[in-house]
Amino acid sequence: MPAPTDFPGTLPRLGILGSGEGSNFGILLDAMDAGRLPAQVALVLSDNPGARILQRAAARGIPHAWVDPGDHPNRFSPAAQQSVSDQFREAGCAVIVCAGFMRRLKNPVLSDFAGRIVNIHPSLLPAFPGREAWKQAFEAAATETGCTVHLIDAGIDTGPILAQSRVPIYPGDSIDDIRRRIQTAEHELFPAALRDFLAALPPAGESGPKP
């Protein structure tokens, strides 16, 4: 049987959003290369012009661009939301994958890609939504945390959960120990959860993004 990568034209096209390091993006690329994640990256977008995720895309010859987020330090302007939706639709993306994207998506991205925006979050949702979830777990003196792959909806880390992985917190752990242990778990969970999600997706055209 041919490997999934023998037919690149038929693989679901992913649009990636990230703001920083992009280690999860790198893991997804490795899984695609190894045939464990039958998908292809069509375009990488970032709100941060210096993000390493853009450099990773450049190094692999993957189309990538900075999207001007607007003036607010955390928000993503209406023009930026429109630009993300336009660029991913023009690139023929079936699914958006948020791999460390630090701004909230709104319409038209949410409506154009309804049920097709996947995120990785560093906690066992619904516990510790929002920023620096590993620090929240540390400050709450939790004995366990984890990571969650979920769909993005209009709330903050409230969308349907696709998969989770548990991570222990040991006495004496620093915030950084917790963060690192969560990331190791993310790198296992994300490619597998995304593969399962893509496998269950209706064929493009039946419920795909708005053309």
Range 152-211, binding ligand GRF (CB under 6 A): 183, 186
Question: Does residue 120 belong to the site contacting ligand GRF (CB under 6 A)?
Answer: yes
Question: Does residue 132 belong to the site contacting ligand GRF (CB under 6 A)?
Answer: no
Q: 120 or 152, CB closer to ligand GRF?
A: 120
Other residues' Cβ atoms within 10 Å of the Cβ of residue 81: 23
Q: Cα separation of 27 and 186, whole Å?
A: 9
Other residues' Cβ atoms within 10 Å of the Cβ of residue 198: 19
Q: Which of 12, 122, 159, 209 binds ligand GRF (CB under 6 A)?
A: 122
Residues with catalytic function: 121
Q: Where are the beta strands (DSSP E) in 33-139?
A: 40-46, 64-66, 95-98, 117-121
According to DSSP, the residues that pair with 15 across neighbouring strands are 43, 96
| Size of site (CB under 6 A) for ligand GRF | 13
Range 16-75, binding ligand GRF (CB under 6 A): 18, 20-24
Q: 100 or 191, CB closer to ligand GRF?
A: 100
Enter the tokens of residue 99: 């791999």
Q: 47 or 186, CB closer to ligand GRF?
A: 186
Residue in the shown chain whose Cβ atom is closest to ligand GRF = 100
Other residues' Cβ atoms within 10 Å of the Cβ of residue 50: 9
**Residue 64 CB partners (closer than 8 Å, separation 6+):** 43, 44, 45, 46, 54, 57, 58
What is the smallest separation between the CB atom of 2 and ligand GRF, expressed in angstroms?
31
Q: 110 or 125, CB closer to ligand GRF?
A: 125
What is the contact mask toward ligand GRF in residues 92 to 111, using x (rule: CB under 6 A)? Answer: -------xx-----------
Burial of 186 (0-12, 13-18, 19+ CB in 10 A): buried
What is the smallest separation between the CB atom of 99 and ligand GRF, expressed in angstroms?
5
Where along the sequence are the contacts to ligand GRF (CB under 6 A)?
18, 20-24, 99-100, 120-122, 183, 186
